[in-house]
């Protein structure tokens, strides 16, 4: 188990999962891996939080408050 209580996974699996989600939603480059906190790539919970933050981020446009 990882520190966040979710199962540990190898970072290569995390990258694969992020790639699969990105492809599924039509955004092949879902995140810039060089800017990702490496801790997020070590557990299922970290990957889930990363994907959730990325897909539910508020766009910086005139309608955002």
DSSP assignment of 19-33 equals HHHHHHTT-SS-S-G
* pLDDT of the residue at 27: 87
Instruction: Map out the domains of the chain as residue ranges.
Output: 1-30+37-57
CA 62, CA 52: separation in Å to the nearest integer?
Answer: 23
Tokens representing 27 are 């955004």
CA 26, CA 20: separation in Å to the nearest integer?
Answer: 10
* pLDDT of the residue at 60: 55
Whole-number Cα distances in Å, 44 to 12, 39, 65? 12, 11, 31
Task: List average pLDDT for each run of 10 residues in the chain, which is 65 residues long.
Answer: 92 95 90 90 94 79 52
């Amino acid at each position: 188990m990882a520190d966040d209580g979710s199962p540990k996974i190898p970072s290569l699996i995390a990258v694969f999962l992020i790639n699969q989600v990105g492809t599924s939603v039509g955004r092949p480059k879902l995140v810039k891996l060089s800017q990702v906190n490496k801790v997020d790539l070590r557990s299922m919970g970290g990957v889930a939080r990363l994907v959730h933050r990325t897909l539910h981020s508020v766009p910086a446009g005139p309608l955002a408050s």
